[in-house]
C-alpha cells in the first residue's frame, strides 16, 4: 500500500502543533519507515487565528471537530482536544461511525468510555489507539499490549503524573511544605485548570485504569479505582520517611489478586534506592511485571510537546504500516467485568505519630498494634523539646483493615497527641 495515510487533527494545543511539526519536518523519514506518505488533510481547533508556530494554510479548516471526523479525505481522526465527554467523545464516535481509525491522547475519555468506544471500533472494524494517553513518550501501551503479549501480567505500577512527582521531589529537595510548592507549580503552569486532576490522582488514575484493562483483560473500570491524592503529604513525612530509607511517590498499582482486581492510585513509600525511588521531577516511570519476563521498567518524559507528539506518531505510524491491534489488546467483547478486590493485598505500613511524653506511652501503642496482629519491624523515636515526641513505626505486613481498626483505637490510649499518619509501603 503506497497511498498516503491522511490525517484529520482535532485540537491544536501543544501536542497537536507538535504532531503537525513532525509531519511537516519529517515527511521523508516517516514515508521511508511506513512505506507510504503520512499527510494532513484537515485540522480543527477552537480558534482559527491563534499563532501556533506552525503553518496551517496547507490544510482544510473545520470549526466543528465532528465535521472534521467525517471528512472523506481523512483516514485517521487524531483527537487531541481532551475532556472525557463533549466534543472529543462526539467527534470520536462520529469518526468511528464514518469508518475512520482513531488516535487519541485522551485518557479521561477512554477511562470513562473506553469499553463503549472499543466496542464501537470493533463493530466498525476500526482501531482506537492511545499511546499518548499514558505516560507521554514512553511506549508503554505498545510494550504491554504487544511486547509482553506472551505473559500473564502479575502487576502494573507507575508514577504517571509528572506534576505530582515534581511537587514531591521539590518538597523534599527544598524542604518546603506542600502548599508552597503547589503554588510554585501553579505559577509555573504545571497544573491542570482543575488541579485536582493532578494532585488528587485522577489523571494518573485514568492512565492506570487503561493499563489495568490491557494487563488483565478486564473492562476499563476507573470507578473501581481507589484514589488518594498527595494533598495531605506533609514535609515531615517526606523527611522522616527519608530517614527510614524511603521516598514518597504517588504510585499507581494494579494487580489481579485472589480477591479480585486491585486498582489504586495513592501515595506510597518505596525504597529510596529503587528505580521508582530515584525518579525525580516530572519524569514518569512504569513498571510492568509478568510471569515470564519478570520486571520491566520504562522511564521517560510523561508530558510535553515532543514526547507526547512522539507517542501520537507511534500510533499514526502503526496505522500507516497496517498494524491493527484491538483497543485493549483483545476483542472488546471478550474483556470481562473486573471484580474489584474488596480488600487490598497486605503490606507493610509507615506510621507517624506524636506521642505524649509520659512513661509507657510507646508500650501502649506497641501493645495495641500487637492486639490487632500487627507486628513492628522498625521503630524510631526522635529528640523533642516539647511535650510530645515524634515516633515512627514501620510495621510488618498487615491488612489495611486490621491497621484501620488499630489506628481507630489510638486515641483511646490517651497517649497519642495527633491522629497518626499511615502510608503504605509498596514492595517494588
- In this complex, which beta carbon is closest to a copy of itself, that of residue 319 or of residue 391? 319
- In this complex, which beta carbon is closest to a copy of itself, that of residue 22 or of residue 338? 22
Contact indicator for 393, 348 with CB cutoff of 8 Å: no
Q: Does 162 bind a copy of itself (CB under 8 A)?
A: no
Contact indicator for 161, 282 with CB cutoff of 8 Å: no
> Among 37, 195, 271, 300, which residue sits at the site for a copy of itself (rule: CB under 8 A)?
300
Q: Does 329 bind a copy of itself (CB under 8 A)?
A: yes
Tell me how far apart the alpha carbons of residues 34 and 144 are, in angstroms, rounded to a whole number.
Answer: 22
Binding mask 362-401 for a copy of itself (x = CB under 8 A): ----------------------------------------
- In this complex, which beta carbon is closest to a copy of itself, that of residue 33 or of residue 48? 33
Tell me how far apart the alpha carbons of residues 226 and 279 are, in angstroms, rounded to a whole number.
Answer: 23
Q: Does 317 bind a copy of itself (CB under 8 A)?
A: yes
Binding mask 1-40 for a copy of itself (x = CB under 8 A): -----------------x---x---x--xx-xxxx-----
CA distances from 70 to 41, 92, 93, 109, 270 (A): 12, 10, 10, 19, 48
Is 207 among the catalytic positions? yes
Q: DSSP H helical segments within 26-152, as ranges? A: 27-34, 65-70, 86-97, 107-123, 140-142
Spatial neighbors of 294 by CB under 8 A, at least 6 apart, are none
- Of 6-14, 163-171, 239-247, 329-337, the segment contacting a copy of itself by CB under 8 A is 329-337
> Among 181, 301, 368, 391, which residue sits at the site for a copy of itself (rule: CB under 8 A)?
301
The three-state secondary structure class of 381 is strand
Count of residues that bind a copy of itself according to CB under 8 A: 59
**What H or E segment, with its residue span, contains residue 307?**
helix 305-320
- Of 42-50, 76-84, 184-192, 323-331, the segment contacting a copy of itself by CB under 8 A is 323-331
Residue tagged active-site, from 89, 207, 247, 249:
207
Tell me how far apart the alpha carbons of residues 52 and 25 are, in angstroms, rounded to a whole number.
Answer: 15
* Positive/negative CA dihedral, 187, 191, 192, 194: negative
Q: How far is CA 90 from the centre of its chain?
A: 24
**Minimum distance from CB of 282 to a copy of itself (Å)?**
11
Q: DSSP H helical segments within 79-234, as ranges? A: 86-97, 107-123, 140-142, 162-174, 178-187, 196-199, 202-216
> Could you list the residues that contact a copy of itself (CB under 8 A)?
18, 22, 26, 29-30, 32-35, 131, 137-139, 142-143, 146-152, 217, 275, 278, 290-301, 304, 306-307, 309-314, 316-318, 321-326, 329-331, 334
Amino acid at each position: 500500500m503506497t497511498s498516503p495515510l491522511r490525517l484529520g487533527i482535532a485540537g491544536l494545543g501543544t501536542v497537536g502543533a507538535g504532531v503537525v511539526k513532525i509531519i511537516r519536518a519529517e515527511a521523508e523519514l516517516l514515508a521511508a519507515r511506513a512505506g507510504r506518505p503520512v499527510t494532513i488533510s484537515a485540522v480543527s481547533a477552537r480558534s482559527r487565528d491563534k499563532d501556533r508556530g506552525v503553518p496551517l494554510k496547507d490544510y482544510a479548516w473545520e470549526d466543528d471537530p465532528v465535521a472534521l471526523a467525517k471528512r472523506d479525505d481523512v483516514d485517521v481522526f487524531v483527537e487531541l482536544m481532551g475532556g472525557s465527554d463533549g466534543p472529543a467523545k462526539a467527534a470520536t464516535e462520529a469518526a468511528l461511525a464514518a469508518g475512520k481509525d482513531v488516535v487519541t491522547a485522551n485518557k479521561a475519555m477512554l477511562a470513562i468510555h473506553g469499553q463503549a468506544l472499543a466496542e464501537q471500533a470493533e463493530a466498525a472494524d476500526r482501531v482506537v489507539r492511545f499511546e499518548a494517553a499514558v505516560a507521554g513518550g514512553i511506549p508503554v501501551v505498545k510494550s504491554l499490549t504487544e511486547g509482553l503479549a506472551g505473559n500473564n501480567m502479575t502487576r502494573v505500577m507507575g508514577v504517571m503524573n509528572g506534576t505530582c512527582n515534581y511537587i514531591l521531589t521539590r518538597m523534599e529537595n527544598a524542604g518546603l511544605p506542600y502548599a508552597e510548592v503547589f503554588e510554585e507549580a501553579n505559577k509555573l503552569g504545571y497544573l491542570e485548570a482543575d488541579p485536582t486532576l493532578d494532585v488528587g490522582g485522577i489523571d494518573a488514575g485514568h492512565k492506570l485504569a487503561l493499563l489495568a484493562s490491557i494487563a488483565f483483560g478486564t473492562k476499563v473500570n476507573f470507578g473501581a479505582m481507589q484514589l488518594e491524592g498527595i494533598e495531605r503529604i506533609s514535609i515531615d513525612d517526606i523527611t522522616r520517611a527519608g530517614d527510614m530509607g524511603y521516598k514518597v511517590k504517588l504510585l499507581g498499582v494494579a494487580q489481579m489478586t485472589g480477591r479480585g482486581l486491585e486498582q489504586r492510585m495513592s501515595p506510597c513509600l518505596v525504597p529510596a534506592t529503587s528505580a521508582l525511588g530515584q525518579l525525580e521531577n516530572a519524569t514518569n516511570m512504569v513498571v510492568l511485571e509478568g510471569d515470564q519476563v519478570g520486571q520491566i521498567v520504562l522511564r521517560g518524559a510523561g508530558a510535553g510537546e515532543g514526547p507526547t507528539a512522539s507517542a501520537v506518531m507511534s500510533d499514526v505510524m502503526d496505522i500507516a504500516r497496517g498494524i491493527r491491534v484491538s483497543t485493549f489488546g483483545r476483542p472488546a467483547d471478550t474483556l470481562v467485568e473486573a471484580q474489584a478486590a474488596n480488600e487490598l493485598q497486605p503490606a507493610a505500613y509507615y506510621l507517624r505519630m506524636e506521642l505524649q511524653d509520659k512513661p509507657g506511652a510507646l508500650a501502649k501503642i506497641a501493645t495495641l498494634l500487637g492486639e490487632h496482629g500487627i507486628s513492628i519491624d522498625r521503630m524510631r523515636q526522635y529528640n523533642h523539646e516539647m511535650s510530645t515526641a515524634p515516633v515512627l513505626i514501620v510495621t510488618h505486613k498487615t491488612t489495611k483493615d486490621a491497621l484501620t481498626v488499630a489506628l481507630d483505637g489510638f486515641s483511646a490510649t490517651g497517649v497519642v497527641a495527633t491522629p497518626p499518619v499511615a502510608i503504605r509501603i509498596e514492595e517494588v
